[in-house]
Amino acid sequence: MSKIITIENVARIEGHASIAIYVDKYGKVEKAEYIATEPSRGFDTIFKGKHASEVPGLAARICGICYAAHNICACKALEYAWETNIPDSAKKIRELLLLANTLSSHALHTVFLAGPGLLIDGVNTITDLQKKYPDFLEAGIELRMIGQQIGEIIAGRKVHTIISVPGGVLKTLNQEEIDKILTLLDATTKSMKTIEEYTYRIINEKKDFLLSYGKIETNFLAIKQSKKLELYNDDSMELLMKDETKEYLSSSEVLERITEEEKEYSYIRHPYITSMGPNNGQFRVGPVARIQNAKWDNNVFHKFKETFGTFTQSAMSYDISRVAEMFECIKGMRDIIASGLDKDIKNVAYPKDGIGVAIVEAPRGALLHQYETDNEGIVKKARVIAPTTFHQGSIERSTFESAREVLDSKKGDCSDEDKVKIEQVIRAYDPCMSCGGATQLRIIKRQI
Amino acid sequence: MAVNVSTIQLGGCSGCHVSLLDVGKAIFAGGINVVHSYLLMDKVTDTIEAETDLLIIEGAILTNKDESLLRQMAPHVKKVLALGSCACFGGIACLGNLKSPFKGNKGNNLKEHGHKLHPLICSPKAFIDIDFFVPGCPPPADIIRDTILALIEGRPVPEIAHTVCDECVRERNYKAPSIPPGGKWKTLLEEAPDPKKCFLEQGYLCLGRQTIGGCNAGCIKANMSCEGCRGPIFLYRNFRKFSDKEKGEILKCLK
Ligand code: SF4
Ligand code: SF4
Ligand code: SF4
């Protein structure tokens, strides 16, 4: 008899998700469903009718882990809608906030969420990690703290750093604050060394696993990378196809290219590239999408390329690419500070009738916000597509692959260890379900 | 003696859990034994198996599942702490109640596994007795630390009964208008406010006067006016359970 194995509440991810695995009468896995179980908090309806000046602050509340990206992306989309420019230093401060946020988010994921599964087999808790690898946990706590503290120095609070408003930012940095940030950045060295060593150890011990577990073939989408980690400039989005051909798009072109498919079993839609169809047109975002064509220079980055090759389709490589990005975050912050900040940080933003689409690289990948406002700045329509939304289809396919590997020989049984093992590939994508379902589906028609 | 702590996330954004982690080593330094947490443990069942001394709740009641979860947990927990404004008042999630197309959200429920949207999004205090309220979006880490350490050590929980204005160092002549000049508050879309002077007196809306302090007016130091994330001060001494009448109203909505 065929049966359905469900894993309720996938652990160590942000928000609520379940998995349903369909097994046929011989015990072979037929299908897997990745289910967003919690309905949207309906940010599109919340934004509608509000004045645009309230939106960036509310948008941060979509997610308590990547708040900076939501806050900044909302500002950018409104600026595009109103054709407002922002001063150079404002851009730099926004980049600083994104980098600091990415550092702490990646540290959280690498050490608290993914780390225990990669270092300890079987079912475990944070207490096990504390007993076995205290230095790893310590390094994670430390790096998270540093990211959060830098956010606090810039924006006055650790979580929901909302000093970006349409037209720029509200505060620049004085010398004292810059010195504090530099001291904090210097303090990362030891912890980063620890994380780096553990990363090599994971690669050495589990190379085959990392290369093959849950592997699927998709396209990739990310902001075009250069010698540094680019999180802010969305002039040129790189769409990297399975056959390694590339295409460069603007953020509104990206939105035109994609369709979001509703699934009857999940609260989050599955986006794909319309012209390629729902199966072929899936694409992944996030650290692996960014690393594919990056020209960064740090040891973990080189080790990544050595292990996974210049172009990789591996799912577990996400866990390694985050560490490479953490090094780039620290370097990026140093570079921005070295390039100097001035007092010119805010232009006046004049609301007008318009639609704006912006993309920012959140820690988990490309994040898209779209707003339509009237002349007074009242929001008429809003839409958010978060990295986790983009990843729904890919997570589902990776889960299917890993479920096949783990369960096909088990004749329809699924122990707790097996469940934890299947969850591992989901966690590699670092899904954030409350971002993924930020808005319900409302298509904004372009008014020409 | 170690205290068994469970944390759960209802309809929230994880920000409160992140702020809890920001407490840093102090929470792992002993004294706390995490027995149930989606964010920190591998295997968790939906129900709390181990006896919990302190249940930390993040988020508002968003789904029917949230309600049944709390009802199931209630007998197993000794004390309950509402962490963050979503858990204390309903917060961001509650904004969904204000909009009629969202209200009741009919026809948007999933067939099988999904949880149904709660007919009235509200604070968990409607379904579980809450002993401690720590408001904020999210509450600053040091307030969380002080509260939890006080609970572990059996001291009274620190009281914060002043407003954000009391912590704010901006120049003011205490003649802040309660009606905006010219009938309209300035917004932050306009030129950046003078970082030295009171927002209200410059004509920008700032909720500092009505808001529970304790955050050291962090936003205001970053030249961002207070958006009142710690909740209204008049509620401070009145954090309380819903009255029977209010519960009746809620139940009426649920029918
Ligand atoms: S109170 Fe704020 S930070 Fe906490 S869950 Fe609610 S929205 Fe997130
Ligand atoms: S109204 Fe705002 S700016 Fe003015 S004193 Fe109070 S907190 Fe400070
Ligand atoms: S200043 Fe206001 S908005 Fe900022 S943290 Fe304090 S209470 Fe919240």
B59 within ligand 1 shell (Cβ under 6 A) = yes
Same domain, B211 and B118: no
DSSP string, B181-200: GGG--B-TTSSPPPTTB-HH
Choose one of B8, B14, B16, B133 to mutate for the ligand 1 pocket test, by most ligand atoms within 8 angstroms of C-beta.
B16
Residue whose CA lies nearest to ligand 1 atom number 2 = B137
Ligand 2 centroid to residue B185 C-alpha, Å: 14
B194 to chain A, any CB pair closer than 8 A? The answer is no
Per the domain annotation, does A444 fall within a domain? no
Q: Report whether A104 contacts A151 (CB < 8 A).
A: yes
Shortest Cα–Cα distance, B243 to chain A (Å): 27
Q: How many CA atoms lie within 13 A of A288 on its CB side?
A: 25
- The Cα B194–Cα B112 span in angstroms is 55
Residue window 264-323, chain A: list those with CB within 8 Å of chain B: 264-267
What is the A153 CA–ligand 3 centroid distance (Å)?
A: 15
B13 Cβ closer than 6 Å to some ligand 1 atom: yes
Whether residue B44 has pLDDT greater than 70: no
pLDDT for the residue A117 = 82
Q: What is the pLDDT of residue B109?
A: 46
What the block records as the tokens of A373 is 């406002």
CATH number of the domain residue A401 falls in: 1.10.645.10
CB A326, CB A103: distance < 8 Å? yes
A54 CB contacts (<8 Å, ≥6 apart)?
A: none
Inter-CA distances, A47 with A135, A383, B99, Å:
44, 9, 10
pLDDT value of position A448: 27
Is the pLDDT score of B134 beyond 80?
A: yes
Q: Three-state SS for A47? A: helix
Q: Which of A138-147, B15-24, B236-245 is least confident? A: B236-245
The total domain count for chain B is: 2
Q: Please check the confidence at residue B103 and state whether its pLDDT lies above 50.
A: no
Q: Which residues, in sequence order, are CB contacts of A350 under 8 Å at separation 6+?
A: A82, A84, B189
pTM: 0.92
CB distance B17–A64 less than 8 Å?
yes
Domain match, B102 and B166 both: no
> Both tokens of residue A10?
């996938």
Question: Is residue B42 scored above 80 in pLDDT?
Answer: no
B5: tokens are 């702590």
Q: In chain A, which residues have pLDDT < 70?
A: 1, 440-448
Residues B96 and B13 in one domain: yes
Q: What is the structure's pLDDT at A189?
A: 92
B215 lines ligand 3 (CB under 6 A): yes
pLDDT of residue A166: 93
- By DSSP bridging, strand A164-165 and strand A283-284 are unpaired
Contact B61, B122 (CB under 8 A): yes
CA of A179 to the centre of ligand 1 (A): 31
- Tell me whether residue A445 is in a domain: no
Please check whether residues B42 and B149 belong to one and the same domain: yes
Q: Is the pLDDT of residue B27 over 80?
A: no
Residues B153 and B202 in one domain: no
DSSP E strand stretches across chain B: 3-9, 32-37, 52-58, 61-63, 77-83, 117-122, 132-134
**In the structure encoding, which two tokens stand for residue B223, read together?**
């030249």
Output the six-digit token pair for A61: 């509340």
Is the domain of B182 the same as that of B247? no
Q: Locate tokens 């729904």: which residue? A: A392
| Predicted local confidence at residue A120, as pLDDT | 81
Evaluate whether residue A146 is within a structural domain. Answer: yes
| pLDDT tens, residue by residue, A155-181 | 988 999 989 999 999 989 999 999 999
Total domains in the fold of chain A: 1
Q: Which residues in chain A are contacts of B164 at CB distance < 8 A? A: none
Q: What are the start-end ranges of the H helices in A277-351?
A: 277-280, 287-292, 299-308, 317-338
- Sign for the CA dihedral angle at A140, A141, A145, A148 comes to positive
- Which has the minimum average pLDDT: A344-348, B56-60, B104-108, B132-136? B104-108
Protein residue with least CA distance to atom 3, ligand 2: B198
Q: Does the structure show a pLDDT above 50 at B129?
A: yes
H helices of B29-186, in order, are: 64-73, 85-89, 91-94, 141-153, 164-167
- The Cβ of residue B105 has, within 10 Å, a number of other Cβ atoms equal to 19
Write out the residue range of the structural domain in which residue B165 sits.
Answer: 161-233
B131: which DSSP letter?
S
Give the list of residues 6+ apart from residue A234 with CB closer than 8 angstroms, or none.
A76, A223, A250, A251, A358, A359, A360
Determine the pLDDT at residue A128.
Answer: 79
Three-class SS state of A36: strand
For the beta carbon of residue A156, count every other beta carbon within 10 angstroms. 22
B11 touches chain A (CB under 8 A): yes
Alpha-carbon distance of A446 to B6, in angstroms, equals 48
Under a CB-based contact definition with an 8 Å cutoff, are residues B17 and B59 in contact?
A: no
Amino acid letter for position A158: K
Q: Does A134 touch chain B (CB under 8 A)?
A: no
Q: Are residues B110 and B44 in the same domain?
A: yes
**Ligand 3 nearest atom to the CA of residue B136, by list position:** 8
Query: Among A187-201, B161-175, B232-246, where is mean pLDDT lowest?
Result: B232-246
Structure tokens at B10: 């209802």
Are residue B116 and residue B37 in the same domain, yes or no?
A: yes
Q: Are both B197 and B153 inside the same structural domain? A: no
Query: Does A436 reach chain B within 8 Å, measured CB to CB?
Result: no
Same-domain check for residues B29 and B155: yes
| Predicted complex ipTM | 0.89
B132 and B210 in one domain?
no
Q: Which pLDDT does position B29 carry in this prediction?
A: 63
Residues A304, A309: Cα–Cα separation, whole Å: 7
CA B187 to chain CA mean position, Å: 25
